[in-house]
Amino acid sequence: MQVVATGVELRELLMEYGGVAGRRVLVPTMGALHHGHLELVKRAREAAGPAGSVVVSIFVNPIQFDRSDDLEAYPRPMASDLEQCRAAGVDVVFAPDAGAMYFSDRSVTVSESLLSRGLCGAARPGHFDGVCTVVLKLFLLSGCHAAVFGEKDFQQLAVIRRMVRDLDVPVEILACPTVRESDGLAMSSRNARLTDKQRADAPRIHRALTDAMKLGGVADILAAARAGIEASPLARIDYLELVDAETLQPVTTLTRPAVLAAAVFYGDVRLIDHVAVK
């Protein structure tokens, strides 16, 4: 496994991994890798095939954070991340710093204006501009044929798919189901920042969403989910919405597939989760 820190180094190294002949699959991450990330790597290896290569990027992207304290607190266990990548059979790790990714006077940003309006986009202004910008840069730097994303960040996945569609980006977007802990909590790098009490309580998010989706009407679903989450004094809802699964716009009736989505704060740690409502 090779580790590089600049775009020039990445392009030069990738010429050794099949040039344009091999299928190259990218797994964009912000590090602090866990089993969920390794499932993305596994999917990437399957998609790359025996002649292809898997590239994992590890970059805590500053322009997608809306709070400086959240950026500073984000875990960065690089040694552990590299060891996990090596054990998973990753070919190349791209681990730049901010100076290698962005010019000090950068003036171009990629924006999506519909799917990113609500949910995390409304709660975190500018977040998806940062996501789209860094993901497109990673596509261009890696020259990947495909990229793998987790369904846990379902709004991010939808926004990236829309960016690829609207800008004719020649990258196939592959999705992996949400990976959960044994108690139902969606795996996230942020989970490591929870206190013991918060960690024990956090699975209530998924339980509340899952129980609520068994009900019939939109108002009943939202009320039940809110009650289930707010039953804990540790949990503070950032948003709780029922949206169309394709457009991500709020729904008032369940005539099409929908998604019940929530973002919940435990202290200053923000967790997201969702369930499908058919």
183 found inside a domain: no
Q: What is the pLDDT of residue 17?
A: 64
Domain-terminating residue out of 176, 209, 227: 176
Whole-number Å distance between alpha carbons of 137 and 37? 20
Closest CA to 31 of 90, 114, 116: 90
Same domain as 134, residue 40? yes
Q: What is the pLDDT of residue 82?
A: 98
Whole-number Å distance between alpha carbons of 55 and 93? 6
The two most distant CA atoms of the chain are separated, in Å, by 57
Same domain as 210, residue 149? no
Q: What is the pLDDT of residue 16?
A: 74
115 found inside a domain: yes
Same domain as 172, residue 195? no
116 found inside a domain: yes
33 found inside a domain: yes
**Containing domain of residue 75, as a range?**
2-176
Q: Phi and psi for 89 in degrees, rounded to 5?
A: 85, 25
Same domain as 95, residue 201? no
Q: What is the pLDDT of residue 15?
A: 79
182 found inside a domain: no
34 is catalytic: no
Radius of gyration of the chain measured on its C-alpha atoms: 19
Domain-terminating residue out of 176, 201, 222: 176
Same domain as 200, residue 144? no
Asked if 98 contacts 76 with a C-beta cutoff of 8 angstroms, the reply is: no
Q: What is the CATH number of the domain that holds 193?
A: 3.30.1300.10
Same domain as 150, residue 195? no
Active-site residue identified among 34, 35, 37, 274: 37
Same domain as 210, residue 165? no
Q: What is the CATH number of the domain that holds 40?
A: 3.40.50.620
Same domain as 122, residue 48? yes
- In the chain, the number of structural domains is 2
Closest CA to 188 of 123, 129, 273: 273
pLDDT tens, per residue, the chain with 278 residues? 999 999 999 998 887 765 545 799 999 999 999 999 999 999 999 999 988 999 999 999 999 998 899 999 899 999 999 999 999 999 999 999 999 999 999 999 999 999 999 999 998 999 999 999 999 999 999 999 999 999 999 999 999 999 999 999 999 999 999 999 999 999 999 999 999 999 999 999 999 999 998 888 999 999 999 999 999 999 999 999 999 999 999 999 999 999 999 999 999 999 999 999 87
Same domain as 204, residue 69? no
Whole-number Å distance between alpha carbons of 100 and 95? 10
Same domain as 45, residue 8? yes
Same domain as 160, residue 231? no
Q: What is the pLDDT of residue 66?
A: 87
Calculate the alpha carbon distances from 4 to 10, 12, 16, 77, 251 in Å.
6, 10, 14, 17, 45
Q: Phi and psi for 29 in degrees, rounded to 5?
A: -140, 165
Asked if 224 contacts 242 with a C-beta cutoff of 8 angstroms, the reply is: no
Same domain as 152, residue 24? yes
Chain centroid offset of residue 131 CA: 9
pTM here is 0.92
Domain-terminating residue out of 145, 176, 207: 176
